[in-house]
Amino acid sequence: MDKVKYKAVDAYFQNVPPHALERMNTIRQALKTIAPLAQEVISYNMPALKYHGILVYYAAYEKHIGFYAIPSAHKAFSKELSNYKTGKGSVQFPNDQPLPLDLIKRMTAYRYKEKQDELAS
């Protein structure tokens, strides 16, 4: 994606490359369902879900979708993420492979519950 400084998630989505738009929209809708009290924001120039702090970030790239579930969820799902290129709190889902939507949903739900538990304690 280009070097535009985004101020809103809708503006980001207007610039998502056509080959990644359906995947990004699928993620966006799933995240809204999983974390209904969370707010969509732009953080680090990427779409993110915020609920008493950032839950997850996601972004479109030429060859992959980047998903950033913060190190805690990344660690909790490390076995399932082992087939993907990963970093400390990031994973790349290649655009030429099926989108692991169930995994994305479970990672987001994990982060959402983590935040809810923090608030309850």
Rounded average pLDDT over 60-87: 93
Provide the residue ranges of all domains of the chain, joining segments of one domain with +: 9-116
Predicted confidence (pLDDT) at residue 1 exceeds the cutoff of 70? no
8-50 pLDDT, tens per residue?
999 999 999 999 999 999 999 999 999 999 999 999 999 999 9
Could you confirm whether domain 9-116 is CATH 3.90.1150.200? yes
Q: Please provide the DSSP assignment of 29-96 as one string.
A: HHHHHH-TT-EEEEETTEEEEESSSEEEEEEE-SSEEEEE-HHHHHHHTHHHHTTSEE-SSEEEEETT
User: How far from the centroid of its chain's Cα atoms is residue 72's Cα?
Assistant: 14
Q: What is the pLDDT of residue 4?
A: 87
Cα 39 from Cα 53, distance rounded (Å) = 10
pTM above 0.75, yes or no: yes
Instruction: Considering only residues 109 and 2, tell me which one the structure prediction assigns the higher pLDDT.
Output: 109
Direct distance between the N- and C-terminal alpha carbons of the chain, in angstroms, rounded to an integer: 40
